[in-house]
Each structure stands twice: as C-alpha cells, then as structure tokens.
C-alpha cells in the first residue's frame, strides 16, 4: 500500500506542470462548488435554529443526518426545470449573464494560498488581480437585469451597479492598508509577514480596515443587509426575476462562491491565512496546534461564513440612500484616516513595521 502511494506521488511529480496546474484548478473548483452546496444547507439550518425552527430535515443521503441530501435534491430539481427565456429578452446576453457572474468568483481562487505549499499561481500582483476580478463580477448582474427586459430586473441591476462601484472604493482603500503592512502584493508573502501568533496578525493593527473590508465584502456580494439588488419586498427578486431553473442556480452559485471567497480573503489579509493563532506561544505553540496548515484557514473561513449567515438572520435591510451614505461618507473616510495612522506607525516602527522585512 505504502509503495503504491509513493509510486503515485512519484508519477505525479513527473507530470508536466501544465497538467498538474490544470488538475489543481479542477480540484479547487469542484471543492468550492461542493462547499457552496453545503453552505446553502448550513445557511438554512442556522437561520432555522435562530428563528426556532428546524430547517431542512427531510432529505437524507446514505442514511446520514436528516437534511444532508437537501442541496443535491435542490440541484436535481433546478436542473430538470425549464429555463424560460422571455420573448422580448435579448437572448444572447440573457444566456451569457449567469456565466459572467460565476467565472470571476471561481477564477479568483487561482491566487489564494491554501497552505504554505499549495497555491495555483504565485503571481506577484495577486492582490491587484483579485481587485480586478471582483470588479468584473458586476457585469453578470447588470447584463442580467438589462437583457431580461423587465422593469424590476432593470431596477435591481441599476441598484447593484451603483452599490458595487461605491463599495469597491472602500474595499480597495482597505487593501492599500494591507499592502502597506505587508510590503507586497503577493498573497503568500502577505500571510508570511503576519507570522507570530494571534496578536501579530493584521487585524490587530489594522482593525478599522478589517471592519471596513468585511462590511464592503458583504455589500459586494449583495448579501443581507445590503441585498437591495434583490429586495424581495420592493422589486420582486431584482436582477434575476426572469431567470428560472439552472440559470437561476448559476446566480446563486456565484453569490455563495463570492461569500466563500470574501471570507477566505478576510482570513488571508487580516487573520493570517494558514497561520496558527498559537504560533510563538509557550507550550501550545510547540505542539501540532502551533503549525501552519490548511485547517486553520478552513476554520477561519468557516467563522466568517457564519458571520454572513448571522447578519442575514438578524439585520433588517438597509434603505438605498442609507447604503450610499454608509459607503461614501462613512467607510471611505475611515479608511483614509487609518491610512494616515499607518504612515505614522511606519515612521515610528511599531506593529507590522517593526519587523525585519521593513528595514
């Protein structure tokens, strides 16, 4: 058995790098899609518990926990439904829009360091690449709203375009702060420069930027309390009101993949990515708990995803003008002030700027 495994590993090493990269891309994409499937179930369960309900509890899979088969039942249902294309819709763009929404959400995983060794691309400009991709996600939504030739869909698209442009600026400024604290745009280096336990991570020195980034992330993914693009009670279902079947499912896949992505990015930028919170502390830091690994990243992503669900269960939806006001007049000034504070910190060499890479 052992010889067989080592044989397989040796074979893996001899494959051309092109093949290996392609296999990794496939593996990561499939895992993200599976995570989305179980995230929808987890969301319904968590919100159910918060509202003193049980949540989905009928569909079993392989006799496992009740409800575990729900995501698969949903997928089969959506796949077998007819995709209705409105007669006056722009047919080409109507079909293109769900794909445009999904592709950036999956492509962004290329530069995310999953563990100290495992990353598809060690691009130097990884942070810029992520910003560029997250700004392209809005095309799927605007085109869906416009191509459907429906007033409600169009209103949703307009709302979401304005919202995403506004919050992208706050998000970009928060990332400038991360850039200053890491001295690099490579995501692996950003994680590496946060080394040294729970309090050495960026969230401690960049706390306002962390808050701004996460709020902007919730707004960018069009999640409650910023989900005016859907706004069930006002504009039916917003940009995807005319979509049915698997085309509708693709929009949801994109939304949930974006949630996982934003959680992973928050973990990488502010919470040390794959670093252990106990690293550098006596006794516990020397055990296996002090080692950096993929599981720490997974745990952090899980916590942030839970926050997304918690927000949805507890906050009422923002009014449109309040969203604009929060983005432009509250979050952007906060980031600008904190960038100034970071300059002072860098000048007197405290926090991340006391580390060897800065000198």
**Does the footprint of another protein cover residue 328 (CB under 8 A)?**
no
**Does the footprint of another protein cover residue 316 (CB under 8 A)?**
no
Q: Which range touches another protein (CB under 8 A), out of 11-19, 27-35, 44-52, 337-345? A: 11-19
**Distance between CA 249 and CA 11 in Å, rounded?**
38
Q: Which of 59, 85, 136, 334 binds another protein (CB under 8 A)?
A: 136
Residue from 102, 109, 136 nearest 248 by CA? 102
**Distance between CA 359 and CA 355 in Å, rounded?**
7
**Does the footprint of another protein cover residue 24 (CB under 8 A)?**
no
| Contacts of another protein in 26-85 (CB under 8 A) | none
Q: Which of 118, 125, 344, 354 binds another protein (CB under 8 A)?
A: 125
Which backbone phi and psi does 284 adopt, to 5 degrees? Answer: -70, -30
Q: Which range touches another protein (CB under 8 A), out of 32-40, 43-51, 137-145, 285-293? A: 137-145
| Contacts of another protein in 164-223 (CB under 8 A) | 164-165, 168, 185
Core vs surface per residue 287-312: b (16+ CB within 10 A) or e: eeebbbbeebbbebbeebbeebbebb
| Contacts of another protein in 143-172 (CB under 8 A) | 143, 146, 154, 157-158, 161-162, 164-165, 168
Residue from 261, 263, 253, 259 nearest 99 by CA? 253
**Distance between CA 144 and CA 250 in Å, rounded?**
12
**Distance between CA 215 and CA 65 in Å, rounded?**
34
Q: Which of 3, 4, 14, 87 binds another protein (CB under 8 A)?
A: 14
Instruction: Please name the residue ranges forming H helices in the chain.
Output: 2-14, 17-50, 70-80, 91-107, 126-136, 138-147, 151-182, 187-192, 202-205, 207-220, 232-235, 245-270, 294-314, 320-325, 332-348
CB nearer to another protein: give 41 or 181: 181
Residue from 161, 134, 136, 117 nearest 266 by CA? 134
CB nearer to another protein: give 85 or 123: 123
**Does the footprint of another protein cover residue 354 (CB under 8 A)?**
no
C-beta of 329: minimal distance to another protein in Å?
Answer: 9
**Does the footprint of another protein cover residue 129 (CB under 8 A)?**
yes
Contact residues: another protein, CB under 8 A: 14-17, 93, 123-125, 128-129, 131-132, 135-136, 138-139, 142-143, 146, 154, 157-158, 161-162, 164-165, 168, 185, 321-322, 325
């Amino acid at each position: 058995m052992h010889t067989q495994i080592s044989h397989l590993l040796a074979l893996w090493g001899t494959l051309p790098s092109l093949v290996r990269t392609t296999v990794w891309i496939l593996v990561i994409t499939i895992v993200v899609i599976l995570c989305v499937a179980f995230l929808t179930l987890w969301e319904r369960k968590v919100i159910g518990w918060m509202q003193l309900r049980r949540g989905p509890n009928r569909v079993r899979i392989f006799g496992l926990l009740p409800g575990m088969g729900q995501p698969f039942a949903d997928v089969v249902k959506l796949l077998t439904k007819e995709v209705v294309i409105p007669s006056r819709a722009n047919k080409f763009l109507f079909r293109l829009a769900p794909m445009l929404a999904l592709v950036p959400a999956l492509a962004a995983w290329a530069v995310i360091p999953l563990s100290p060794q495992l990353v598809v691309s060690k691009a130097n400009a990884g942070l810029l690449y992520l910003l560029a991709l997250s700004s392209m996600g809005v095309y799927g939504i605007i085109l869906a709203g416009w191509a459907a030739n429906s007033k409600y869909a169009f209103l949703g698209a307009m709302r979401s375009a304005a919202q995403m442009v506004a919050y992208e600026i706050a998000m970009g400024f928060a990332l400038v702060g991360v850039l200053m604290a890491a001295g690099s745009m490579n995501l692996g280096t950003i994680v590496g420069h946060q080394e040294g336990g729970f309090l050495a991570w960026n969230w401690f020195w960049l706390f306002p930027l962390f808050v701004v980034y996460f709020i902007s992330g919730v707004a960018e993914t069009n999640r409650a309390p910023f989900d005016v693009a859907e706004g069930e009670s006002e504009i039916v279902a917003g940009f995807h009101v005319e979509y049915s079947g698997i085309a509708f499912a693709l929009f949801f896949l994109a939304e949930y993949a974006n949630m996982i992505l934003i959680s992973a990015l928050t973990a990488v930028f502010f919470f040390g990515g794959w670093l252990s919170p106990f690293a550098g502390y006596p006794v516990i830091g020397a055990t296996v708990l002090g080692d950096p690994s993929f599981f720490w990243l997974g745990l952090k992503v899980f916590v942030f995803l839970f926050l997304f669900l918690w927000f949805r269960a507890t906050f009422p939806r923002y009014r449109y003008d309040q969203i604009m006001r929060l983005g432009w007049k509250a979050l952007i000034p906060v980031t600008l002030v904190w960038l100034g504070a970071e300059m002072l910190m860098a000048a007197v060499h405290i926090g991340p700027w006391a580390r060897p890479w800065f000198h």
